[in-house]
Structures are given as structure tokens and as C-alpha cells.
Chains A and B, each alone.
Chain A
């Protein structure tokens, strides 16, 4: 680009010029310092453009979230009411003889259109917030329940001759439909590729490792990162964990329900150390958990609680082990009871 005839509007829209003004990229800073030294006649233009890029700083006013929640609920009521109406209109519309014929013709045209036009697939991503579960229908009818703070990526259309593929970051439970043509289904994570034919299993990719728990069916694991994990077949009730940082992979028999109870909004703890519970609070709910004493982290908890009743969980922990638990916004502090 010939920068000699740069006008103000070219400069203000140039990302590298913006980086120079805000000093956010040393390469750009160096480039522009040199350019400005070489073109003293552009001094005025540079100054005006820099002034516009810097502009004015504002701190926009934000309403409290519970107020917005209230407004949303009011709107949602109207939306739900409106949803009920169209069905009636549709019925009477189709009942009319002429419209029935028209509907058939339209159907024929749209099917023909679909058959003759190339179906291009688009990239889809689902992302869940903290403390949020999302149910997803995949293009082949398979179901995914995605836990909080997770993302799932896939193409919205799968060809029969190619494997069905999804990419997961976080935690999800898959119910994969078996296809008559034995079309494989592959879940990609940072650490492994999980190939299934038709089955139910949970995948957790938190904390730089991937943990796969198989409920039913059969899966095959492959890892580019760990050579020992090659065409590794899992049986129901097994848990396998592949880590970015550790050489060996873990393999053990577990009760799969414990690891996938979150789908039904339950958290099941069986001799679970508090430091593990802390990780769940951090990964799925976005809290920062501070445990004052390492010994506290090793104390264990048994029980089943509803995943949306966190205060019951905290009370249970506090009372079982005589601990003092305080919460400040998104911070949870666990310490010994001053006895």
C-alpha cells in the first residue's frame, strides 16, 4: 500500500495505525515511528488521525442484571402467548381444499429444488455459560447434553461417505445414533479423538486433560499426543484419562452415573475430596475457590445434591467437617472453624 497519499480516513481505519496510537504492538509502533520521521509533511494528518483514534473514553451505564431479568420475563410472557396462536391459523389454512393442492405443489417444488441444488454446510458452534446446561440436536439426530462453560463445534450437514465429526472444549454427554451404513462418529478434543459407532458416553476436557467415561456401547480412542493410546477400545463402565502433561494414561472401572449425573442436574459425590469439588465449582460455575489449608482439600464428602442448589452443598461441606465457608460475589473461601 502506498502510504504516501494516506488520507485521514485510511489511517483511522488501518489496524496497524491504531496499534501505534494505542501502543499495543511493538512492530507497528516501530513501523509508524519510522514512517512519521520520513514524512514530516504528513505531520498534521497524522496528528488529526491519531486524535480521532484516541477519541474520548466513556464508561457506559449498565443496569443491574436483575432489573434486565425482570424486563426479559415481561417480554417472554408476551412471546409465549404469541407462540400459541399460529397453530390455529395453520389448521384452518390447510383445511381449505385449494390450499391443500397448493401445499402439495409447493412441497414438490421444494423437494426438487433441494435435490438439484448443492447443499453447502455451515460451521456451527454452541457455547454454554457458567451454570448452564444446553441440549443440542446434531445433524444426524444424535443428542448432546453440554455442561456449563463449554463449546461444541460442528458442520451443520454431514455427508454419508464421511465421518460425523464434532469438536469439544469443556464437558458434554453424547447419545450417538447408530447409522445403518456404520458411519463413524468422532469427538475431537485437544488430547484425543474418540470414535464411536453408536453409544452413550461422557467427555470432560477440563484442566489440560481429556476424560472419557463410557455408559453403554463401544468407543475407540486415538491420541496424537500419547502414542500408547492407539485404537484403544473401551468397555462400558470404564474411565480413561489422557493428559497433556502426564506420560501415562489412566484407566479404571467406575460407576458412569457418578460422572454424568450432571445431565440430570445432579452432582454425586462418593468419597470425593474437597479439592475436586472446588474444581467443579470453578469449571462449571465460574467461582474462584480458595482453600486455606491443604489438609482441608483432602477431606472427603459423600452425597447427592441438585446442581442448582450450591448453598446446600456448601452448608453440607461446612457442617460435615466443621469448616467456615464464606462467599463474596464469585469468591468462595474455605477455612477451619476457629475453635
Chain B
């Protein structure tokens, strides 16, 4: 799903849409709905709320198509707008959040499901669950960075923009997350080795 549309084709659709071509608008909707739904749902954990936000977003885009500028990446523009919309609405829904942190305080709490994670050893359910546990217990910012980079396919500078952090911070977040995942692998290999050794001691 990451690289389904070539960059120039989506930019072309965007330009056609700005000119008011309904067909281009429809194709943009189909091309990006899943991207937006996945991000929206992971941010809000609410199916209907997510769907409504997406409809609002596209309707607003259509109404303002004349005022929009050309974009370098349609995917990035849409995801960023959605995150902004959802964080505003979420803060309004949760007054306590507003009092404590304001809009900037919205921190995405992104979790992954087993069907979304792909490992080389597909039949190894245990390994998958281990990976999933580590992923979902990473610090929230690391999870969002991993999600935006490897699930949504955004560029590092785009992630920095969406998360309102520095470019270097994005690299650090990703690096730390990946290290934690890798350590998990070697750790369990190590444990496995010890178990084998103990068993062989028992048997012989």
C-alpha cells in the first residue's frame, strides 16, 4: 500500500482537482481513503468518528479547491491535515486534556494489531506476538514515528513536520525503537539457547 501511486500521478490528480475536475477528486478519495482511515483510527480509536473526519476533510477540500496550492506530496498533505483536524476535535471532546496541555499537547497513542505486522517467519505466531508486544509498549512518540515512516511511507522531514519535532529527533526516535525491537530478537534467541542447553543437560 505504501507505494501504490507514482508521485507524479497523484500530483497530476491534485492539479486536476484544483481545477474542479470531479473525476480527479473522486480518484483522490479512492487513492487515499485507506491511508487516512488507518491513521485516523489509530489516533482516535473510533470508527465512526474517523469516517466523519475524513468526510469533513474532503468536503472542505472540495469547497476550497480554488484556494488550495499545488503540493509536493498529496499523501503528506492529507495525513497532516487529518491529524490536525482530529487533534482539534479530540481536544474539544476532552476538556481535561485542553486544560492540561492545549492543542500542542495532543499525543498520538498508536497501537498495532497482529494482522498488520509482517515477519519473515510467518508461521511463528509466538514470535509475532513478542514483536507486537515490544512495538506496542514503546514510548508513544517512537510508535508514531515508526508508524509514519514504515506504515505510511512518509519522508523523515515530513514526519518531523507532522509531529512538530526536529529532523534529528525523528531519526533518534526511529533508531531507538528499532534497537529495542532488535534487542528483543537477540534476547529471545539467547533465552532459547539457554533453554536448549538446560534441556540437553537434563536429557544426557
Q: Are B175 and A125 in contact (CB under 8 A)?
A: no
For A59, the chain B residues whose CB sits under 8 A away are 1, 115-118
Query: At the interface, yes or no: A75 with Cβ under 8 Å from chain B?
Result: yes
Question: B residues touching A (Cβ–Cβ < 8 Å)?
Answer: 1-2, 9, 12, 22-23, 25-26, 29-30, 33-35, 37-38, 51, 54-55, 58-59, 62-63, 112-113, 115-119, 135, 146, 149-151, 156, 167-168, 171, 174-175, 178-179, 181-182
Query: At the interface, yes or no: A105 with Cβ under 8 Å from chain B?
Result: no
Query: At the interface, yes or no: A88 with Cβ under 8 Å from chain B?
Result: no
CA distance A4 to B140 in the complex (A): 35
Assuming A82-B62, A82-B63, is B33 touching A58 (CB within 8 A)?
A: no
Query: At the interface, yes or no: A68 with Cβ under 8 Å from chain B?
Result: yes
CA distance A71 to B23 in the complex (A): 16
Contact of B181 among A56, A74, A125, A127 (CB under 8 A): A56
Chain B interface SS verdict (over half): helix
Taking CB atoms and an 8 Å cut-off, the chain A residues in 121-157 that contact chain B are 124-125, 127, 134
CB closest chain-B residue, reference A62: B34
Q: Are A60 and B116 in contact (CB under 8 A)?
A: yes
Query: At the interface, yes or no: A9 with Cβ under 8 Å from chain B?
Result: yes
Summed over the interface, the residue pairs from A and B with CB atoms below 8 Å come to a total of: 92
Q: Are B55 and A75 in contact (CB under 8 A)?
A: yes
Can you report 12 A-B residue pairs in the complex whose CB atoms are below 8 A from each other? A9-B168, A12-B156, A51-B178, A60-B1, A60-B34, A61-B116, A62-B1, A68-B34, A71-B54, A72-B33, A82-B63, A127-B9
Question: A residues touching B (Cβ–Cβ < 8 Å)?
Answer: 8-9, 12-13, 48, 51-52, 55-63, 68, 71-72, 74-76, 78-79, 82, 124-125, 127, 134
Assuming A60-B38, A79-B22, A82-B63, is B30 touching A68 (CB within 8 A)?
A: yes
Q: Are A52 and B171 in contact (CB under 8 A)?
A: yes
Assuming A62-B1, A125-B12, is B26 touching A72 (CB within 8 A)?
A: yes
Smallest beta-carbon distance B27→chain A, Å: 9
Smallest beta-carbon distance A198→chain B, Å: 27
